[in-house]
Amino acid sequence: MNIINTEEISSKYRQKGINLSEKSLSITNFKGSEQEKDLREQPNCDGFGRIRHFKLHPSEDWPINPLPIIPAAKYLGIKQTDELRAQVFQNSVCNWRCWYCYVDFKLLNGDSRFSSYLTSNDLLDLYLKEPNPPSLIDLSGGQPDLTPEWIPWMMEAIIEKNLQDKILLWSDDNLSNDYFWRYLSTDQIDLITSYKMYARVCCFKGIDETSFSINTKADPKLFYNQFDLFKRLRSIKIDLYAYITLTAPPETNFEKSVPLFMDHIQSVDEKFLLRIVPLKIFEFEPTKSRNDINKAELLSGQEKAIVIWKREMKKRFSEEERNLPITNIYEP
């Protein structure tokens, strides 16, 4: 397996992904892509957006996925439902190549056939032209944090239209780089931390170095970097949540790796495990042609890992704590 040089590729894709002087970003257009085949609704916003239906119960045999449904209900003051519509925009670059990614890899390398440079104002204008636009905007990818300016730029655009109390801004982060700290000014970080309707979800990919590297094609050592990045984000005032993908090969020592992962998280924040949602991986149209790994074995690994995850959660937290809404673990 060729290991990705994350530092080098991140820098290359950052250059492709952003035009600082124009304050624009390379945004994916879904028309004609493999990903488009999996969409329940046609792409919107002239092809640059898609409506995602988040589900509380994505699978019967798996823990619920309260993200972003429960935070959205809290921020927007709406009733919690089993399904939530969100407006998703994807930046067109990502530094990793997860085998289970539901985005075509050609939508992750800034390919100009499937992307254009748009400002956050352009995106917001397209969104507002749509009939019945959802009250949640998800800045996704790709890896949005190759171009972390996207978040404060979108906040500024929303404030300019006086919609800051009506739209929940949500963003994804694959915990691969420190660009948030490297490229954002103090004023931009202040805007993010003082903005009321913003929440962020980061994604831990794998339960140990080996599964992390098989999942992402990144250097196994970067497995530990995820905890450092998480710690930095946890130290500032952001409403932070996380996913974990549990896919792992059969030789994994699940009994050791899952509790150890949890120990690492708890060494940063005792209660944060209650804000981590295990994501069940499914096959999507773009993943069908990725056959350089044994998908069946890795999918079977997630079934073993989830049993231990659930058992450990029971050991580490009371029933009352486990039943708290994800937004009520503590205030951010």
Binding site for ligand SF4 (CB under 6 A): 94, 96-98, 101, 103, 108, 141-143, 174
Q: Which residue has the tokens 């999996």?
A: 38
Q: Which one, 143 or 327, has the nearer CB to ligand SF4?
A: 143
In this structure, what token pair is assigned to residue 181?
A: 């700290």
Closest separation between CB of residue 165 and ligand SF4, Å? 30
Closest separation between CB of residue 312 and ligand SF4, Å? 25
Q: Which one, 135 or 287, has the nearer CB to ligand SF4?
A: 287
Q: Which one, 27 or 108, has the nearer CB to ligand SF4?
A: 108
In this structure, what token pair is assigned to residue 113?
A: 């056939």
CA dist., res. 216 & res. 213, Å (int): 5
Q: Which one, 174 or 327, has the nearer CB to ligand SF4?
A: 174
In this structure, what token pair is assigned to residue 129?
A: 């032209």
Q: How many other CB atoms sit within 10 Å of the CB of residue 300?
A: 15
Residue 188, classed as helix, strand or coil, is helix
Closest separation between CB of residue 175 and ligand SF4, Å? 9
Closest separation between CB of residue 40 and ligand SF4, Å? 19
**Which residues have a Cβ under 8 Å from the Cβ of 290 and sit 6 or more positions away?**
99
Q: Which one, 54 or 75, has the nearer CB to ligand SF4?
A: 54
CA dist., res. 179 & res. 114, Å (int): 24
Closest separation between CB of residue 87 and ligand SF4, Å? 18
CA dist., res. 190 & res. 199, Å (int): 14
Q: How many other CB atoms sit within 10 Å of the CB of residue 314?
A: 11
Taking CA atoms, 253 is separated from 63, 95, 173, 257, in Å, by 22, 28, 27, 6
Closest separation between CB of residue 271 and ligand SF4, Å? 26
CB 98 within 8 A of CB 216: yes
Q: Which one, 171 or 174, has the nearer CB to ligand SF4?
A: 174
Residue 280 main-chain phi, psi, to 5 deg? -80, 130
Q: Which one, 103 or 258, has the nearer CB to ligand SF4?
A: 103
CA dist., res. 3 & res. 264, Å (int): 24
Closest separation between CB of residue 74 and ligand SF4, Å? 26
- Asked, as a colleague might, if the bond just before 47 is cis with ω within 30 of 0, I would say no
